[in-house]
A and B are shown apart, each in its own frame.
Chain A
Amino acid sequence: MGQQVVNGLFLGSIYALFALGYTLVFGVLDILNLAHAAVFMLASFVALTLVGRFHLHILLAMPLAVLFAGFLGLLLERVAFRPLRARADSNISGLISSLAMATVFEAVALEVWGPNISRFPFGTVPETQLDLLGAVVSRLQLTIVAVAVLLFLVLTWLVKATRLGREVRAVAESPRAARILGVDVNRAIAAAFFISSALGGAAGVLFGLAFNSISPDMGRSVELKGLAVIILGGMGSMPGAVLAGFALGLTEVFVTAYLGASWRDAVSFTGLFLILVLRPRGLFGAAALREA
């Protein structure tokens, strides 16, 4: 029982971390960046190459991979979103062009790293186990949960208390009004993409370290879950994404353990459906009444 709670919190922290970046862009632009999972995957591969081929320490390789993911976000914004922004149906076309970029990223990964599962070299992170009230927790797992919570706090502070954060929120409210007030809208959106993708990259590296299976399709196992988490948490709400991430992780673990893995997604997504019907703004979403 205790062990399953630990399993659920750990899985939930991965979902939360992935969803944080997802929800940031979603909250700002009102569109889904479907290439988020591909950035997650590429960052993991980059960290793997830095550690495996260039023998960098993981504490150096991870920030570099996260930075790389951030720049991928800038590239994504510049290529897949900005050219379409002026169009009337930019939400749908952006969704599709981000899907195209995701496919390109996956193809690049296939070409460069091949289809097989790779893993970080043994001993990249110390594999020490701790005993927590009868449950086994690895130091890495604790680190991942801590990083998820820490990044959430930093991001909240960034959005609430900094000038950049205020600009991003102003753009979220109304790009036109923000522009009139002197906000560089393109810069604010690019910044949001940079931060979002960097977070996705951090999630990818930690996922790669935790499960030791890095492959071009690794993003698929979290892509849909991430989407569920941001809807559950209230689109654009960061505390919502974190709490919904943990809730989904725990739900999945307990459904798997007591009903069987075949029921896992059915139960999670039925829950999601009910939330959509009964409380469309999600658990923590602000009332979705934004007058244009």
Chain B
Amino acid sequence: MRFARSIGVLVAAALAATGTARAEQVVKIGVAISLTGPAAVYGATQKAGVLAAVDHVNKSGMLKGVKLEAVIEDDASTKEQGIAVFQRFINKDKVAAIIGPTLSNTATAADPLAQAAKVPVVAVSNTAPKGITDIGDYIWRVSLTEFQVIVPALQRMQAKLGFKTAALLYGNDDAFTQAGYAVMKASLEHTGIKIVGTQTFAKPDRDYNAQITALKALHPDILMVSALAENAAGIVAQARQLGWNVPIWGGNGFNAPAFIKNAGPAAEGVYVGTAWNKVSPDKVNQDYLAEMKARGVDPDQFCTQAYVGVLAIADAIKLEGGKGTREAIKAGFAKVKDLPTPLGLFSFLPNRDGSHPPSLQQVQGGKFQIVQ
């Protein structure tokens, strides 16, 4: 494999050498992200990540004779706009590959167009377990599904705390928190942890004392909560007020600054799984952080995943000997293995989902810190 890759690099170098006389080949990447609408908060940081990665690749000279160019369009967090942008990318801009769209919901509507037109897509923030990469062989994904994040993080937490039983609390009137609950349940079963009790609440609820008291009486070793940030703070605060010091695991909804702000001291010690270990001492990650700092960007997980999406495309082009066509990029994706990225060593799995080590983080001193 390594041998094959070095050959690839040699071929690329040879091609580049012969190609210097020619004009540089420009490979266009369509970037469909939510710059407006409910997901705009993610789109803004994804844009920063994509632009940084394109500059990084072009400056590094890793693709000799090939210049990446990002065409960024707003999918407006909707299916309709997502479809319109994809059509433009495929037919008008004639991009070689597409990054995005931001939301899984939009992806389920827009990705089939790319699949039909045989344009490779890299999802960088879709985490829905089903309905993304199974659309077809042109749809690939960098972002880990929640299941991929929770299982290893849960195992790490279990190795630390050695628990055997868990109780679950989740919001059952919201698609996001309900999906989060399903993943938690599956992850617990997968890890062999017994679920001793389950309670629910609704989004407008502010009093969770009844649910928490009922779960507390069952004496689980940990409490797993799938809630939006607005409910999360209240739940954790009330659990601690009731004098329950059980370790708490929060779902994706906890991954918000508002949670720590509103829960205050009660947030201390809460565990959350995350795809990106921001403080990883790994050189690739440290270089990336320095690069982003120079650009005046404070990167988050979404920014980093978008950055890695571009790196994956660049690596695919490199592995295909510098060919930046739609078919070449798709063929190259299948060979991306152990690519050094800020997310850790990144590979595409046979089912086209991404794979890299996730992390476990814990609130310490009012901030999320990575649990080593």
Contact = CB atoms under 8 A, between A and B. Distances in A.
Interface in A102-142: 116-117, 119, 122, 127, 129, 136, 138
Given A211-B234, A212-B234, A213-B230, A11 B204 contact: no
Interface residues of A, number: 33
Contacts of B210: 4, 7-8, 11, 252-254, 256-257, 261
A218 B199 CA distance: 22
Interface string A225-254: 000000000000000000000000000111
A122 B234 contact: no
Contacts of A220: 204
A206 to B, nearest CB: 12
A213 B213 contact: no
Given A122-B264, A211-B234, A256 B211 contact: yes
Interface-central residue, B237, B241, B264, by most chain A CB under 10 Å: B241
Interface residues of B, number: 26
Contacts of A4: 210, 213-214
Interface in B189-209: 199-202, 204-207, 209
B209 A218 contact: no
Given A11-B209, A218-B206, A116 B258 contact: yes
Contacts of B230: 116-117, 213, 215
Contacts of B205: 221, 261
B172 interface: yes
Given A116-B258, A122-B265, A260-B199, A212 B241 contact: no
A133 B250 CA distance: 31
A117 B259 CA distance: 10
A261 B199 contact: yes
A68 interface: no
Contact of A261 (B201, B206, B233, B241): B201
B241 A129 contact: yes
Interface in A72-120: 116-117, 119
Given A4-B210, A117-B233, A257-B214, A213 B241 contact: no
Main secondary structure of the interface of B (DSSP, over half): helix
A207 B216 CA distance: 24
A173 interface: no
B262 A261 contact: no
A3 interface: yes
A229 B277 CA distance: 50
A212 B262 contact: yes
Contacts of A207: 206
Contact of B209 (A10, A215, A254, A258): A10
Interface of B: 172, 199-202, 204-207, 209-211, 213-214, 216, 230, 233-234, 237, 241-243, 258, 262, 264-265
10 contacts: A4-B213, A11-B209, A116-B230, A117-B258, A122-B264, A129-B241, A212-B262, A257-B210, A261-B202, A261-B205
Interface of A: 3-4, 7-8, 10-11, 14, 116-117, 119, 122, 127, 129, 136, 138, 207, 211-213, 215, 217-218, 220-221, 252-254, 256-258, 260-262
Smallest CB-CB A-B distances: 8 pairs: A256-B210, A257-B214, A7-B209, A253-B210, A211-B206, A221-B204, A261-B200, A3-B213
Given A117-B233, A136-B241, A211-B207, 5 more contacts: A7-B210, A136-B243, A212-B234, A213-B262, A261-B202
